[in-house]
Structure 1
Amino acid sequence: MSRWGLTIPLMGVPLAAHRDIVEGLAGLGYTDAWSAESNGTDAFTPLALASQWAPDLRLGPAIVPVYTRGPALLAQQAATLADLAPGRFVLGLGTSSQVIVERWNAIPFTEPYQRVRDTLRFLRRALAGEKVTDEALGVSGFRLDNPPKTPPPIVLAALRPGMLRLAAREADGAITNWLAPQDVGTVRSAFGTEKELIARIFVCPTSNAEEARTLGRRLIAAYLTVPVYAAFHEWLGRGERLAAMNEAWAAGDRRAALDAIPDDVVDDLVVHGPPDACRERVRAYVEAGLDTPILAVLPNGELSIPDAVSALAPR
């Protein structure tokens, strides 16, 4: 069986209320818990808690932006998690997006490929306990006081061929997002088959297709109008299907943008239906070449989030 991950924190569940849920994940068949970082919790705190609540889970952020922390602080936080969960922590790195980096954090979103590459190389050396000077990053003479006994694997967020090839050459795997099972082969064609491919998959376990599609449209409009995701779907061949959404969004007409997203695009990119059908759809990603699906459970009127976590567990 492939790995079977869950996104934490769960939507609508306070972080302090996660203990019982996280403690039970391994017993349900989940192997991984992966955090995220946008405008909710930070990426590391939920994993620090989970490292103590669930000693059998693999843990990772999907992803930590390389811009919003200095290289030394990234190394410190990664080393801390590697110490809390020795052999079970994976560091997920990526560029994030212009919205998060520039609009929300007032940091220039420049040379993303180079920034990810240079940060990856710096962290390899720092987490191995070396003293590092890196002119490209502006780092001079940094060394961790307590490098981890087991340096964590590093996986890169990668949406298009350039970053996928970098992940294949220099990282331990790649993380992707917002794709359909039929897109996995396209990603693998650029990334290769030798290293782990991870993807977050949005899952709404409900028989109410209209409810799921309404929520799915909101998420698709919020994400896929961002330039990095728009370019990703252009590469995947979905650009024409999303053109009307992007045009309406650029014109400031949010309602028209939502209405312009075809049902079949929502059905491709958001897993929905009864839990058994959702589970089979996630398995279709694995059959297409995905190693680790990370379920992001969406709220709905039929199942509470905790009940959905149980219902979607691998059987």
Structure 2
Amino acid sequence: MGDINGLDLGTFGIYTFDFEHQPPALMRESIQELEQTGWRAFWFPEVGGREALTHAAYLLSCTQRIHVVNGIAQIWARSARAAYGGGRLLADAYPDRHVLGLGFGGERRPGVQPLAAMREYLDEMDALEAVSPAPRIRRVLAAYGPKMLELARDRAAGAHTYHVTVAHTRQAREVLGPDAFLGVEHPVLFETDPDKARATAREHLHTYLTTPYNVAKFRRLGYSEEEIAGGGSDRIVDDLVFWGDPDTIVERLRGHVEAGADHVAVQVIGVEPGRSAMPHWRALADALLPPSGA
């Protein structure tokens, strides 16, 4: 499990927005501890103003073994030529440690068809690689619907999904087939009180439950308009955020693996502003990672 074109990411990794806002010294200290703890993969988005490929380069330069994954680098933020050039440099400077995740992020442009835009972007990258093929760039695509999943299967190493259910993971595996990589992000919350947990989860999910393309995604997953509206029903909240004690959270995360995920990138939410998620990452390491040396 966790293999992407020869890279062993492990079955579980870390996904966080935290590094978008932290000073570089704290980022360095945190990712070094994650590496020492035994995490094999670190995923981060591109939303807070830090450029995705230079961000990846900094994290790679601070570490020796951990895999750094763009989850995702937005295709609107750079040309395909720039993405290829940056990805190629990282593949050359840090062999077998970087994965370039590509996607749209939160931006949707009027009149632009996402599938066609992504296909054109990949066409340009592949044309550049054909002229200068080494070193190899490992890439995955943010994908939810069957057509984008098919593109991820056929034109990349596989797919990266975000805020989906175990049922979607099962559907995605069917589309991708047995060989393509499937990495699934899922948020977790260390809170056992149902009212507190759901209140925090709803705050986290607010943006996702109120943007049209996310609403469309959840409708395709079988949730009604009533379940999505008003902060989300208990059912959708509990499906999208796994909360409770560590054993409950771990059991639910393993559901993605049983449904066909190669790798689950765990996002800890509910951390107070100014506080680090590191204590939770340590607890997850104890529960999810194999013993040292195993």
Counterpart in the other structure of 1:294: 265
CA distance in 2, matches of 1:266, 1:218: 10
CA distance in 2, matches of 1:23, 1:304: 14
Counterpart in the other structure of 1:64: 73
Counterpart in the other structure of 2:18: 10
Change (3 A) 1:60 1:12: closer
Q: For structure 1, which segment, 69-78 or 205-214, has the greater mean C-alpha deviation from structure 2 after superposition? A: 205-214
Moved over 6 A (4+): none
CA distance in 1, matches of 2:54, 2:238: 33
**Residue from 29, 32, 56 that aligns with 1:47:** 56
**Residue from 105, 110, 113 that aligns with 1:111:** 113
Deviation at 1:210, TM superposition (A): 2.7
Matched residue of 1:44: which SS? helix
Change (3 A) 1:52 1:159: same
Q: For structure 1, which segment, 71-80 or 194-203, has the greater mean C-alpha deviation from structure 2 after superposition? A: 71-80
Structure 1: unaligned runs, 5 residues or longer? 103-107, 131-146, 246-256
After TM superposition, the structure 1 = structure 2 runs for residues 229-244 of structure 1, keeping only pairs within 5 Å, are 229-243=214-228
Deviations 1:256-298 (A, max 9, x none): x22xx11121111101112232222212211111111111111
Change (3 A) 1:234 1:192: farther
2:184·2:264 contact (CA, 8 Å) conserved in 1?
A: yes
1:54 maps to amino acid: T
Change (3 A) 1:129 1:191: closer
Matched residue of 1:67: which SS? helix
Deviations 1:115-165 (A, max 9, x none): 101111221232x362xxxxxxxxxxxxxxxx6842211111111011111
1:9·1:46 contact (CA, 8 Å) conserved in 2?
A: no
Deviations 1:156-184 (A, max 9, x none): 11110111111112211101111122331
Matched residue of 1:179: which SS? coil
Normalising by the residue count of structure 2, what TM-score does the alignment of the two structures yield? 0.84
**Residue from 301, 306, 310 that aligns with 2:278:** 306
Change (3 A) 1:64 1:13: closer
Change (3 A) 1:87 1:195: same
Deviation at 1:220, TM superposition (A): 2.2
Matched residue of 2:173: which SS? helix
2:158·2:176 contact (CA, 8 Å) conserved in 1?
A: no
Matched residue of 2:184: which SS? strand
Q: For structure 1, which segment, 184-193 or 196-205, has the greater mean C-alpha deviation from structure 2 after superposition? A: 184-193
CA RMSD of aligned residues (A): 2.4
CA distance in 1, matches of 2:77, 2:225: 33
1:92·1:157 contact (CA, 8 Å) conserved in 2?
A: yes
2:269 maps to amino acid: L
After TM superposition, the structure 1 = structure 2 runs for residues 33-44 of structure 1, keeping only pairs within 5 Å, are 33-44=42-53
CA distance in 2, matches of 1:148, 1:13: 35
Matched residue of 2:76: which SS? coil
Counterpart in the other structure of 2:201: 216
1:61·1:91 contact (CA, 8 Å) conserved in 2?
A: yes
Larger radius of gyration: 1
Normalising by the residue count of structure 1, what TM-score does the alignment of the two structures yield? 0.79
Deviations 1:81-118 (A, max 9, x none): 22332121111111223xx355xxxxx56121111011
CA distance in 2, matches of 1:86, 1:101: 33
1:9·1:15 contact (CA, 8 Å) conserved in 2?
A: no
Change (3 A) 1:148 1:206: farther
CA distance in 2, matches of 1:90, 1:285: 21
Matched residue of 1:282: which SS? helix
**Residue from 118, 123, 126 that aligns with 1:124:** 126
Matched residue of 2:136: which SS? coil
Counterpart in the other structure of 2:250: 279
2:153·2:176 contact (CA, 8 Å) conserved in 1?
A: yes
CA distance in 2, matches of 1:233, 1:129: 38
1:68·1:101 contact (CA, 8 Å) conserved in 2?
A: no
Change (3 A) 1:262 1:49: same
Deviations 1:34-68 (A, max 9, x none): 11012353322332122122221111211112222
CA distance in 2, matches of 1:304, 1:211: 20
CA distance in 2, matches of 1:237, 1:19: 41
1:173 maps to amino acid: G
Change (3 A) 1:217 1:283: same
Structure 2: unaligned runs, 5 residues or longer? 3-9, 290-294
Change (3 A) 1:109 1:10: farther
2:57 maps to amino acid: A
Change (3 A) 1:266 1:8: closer
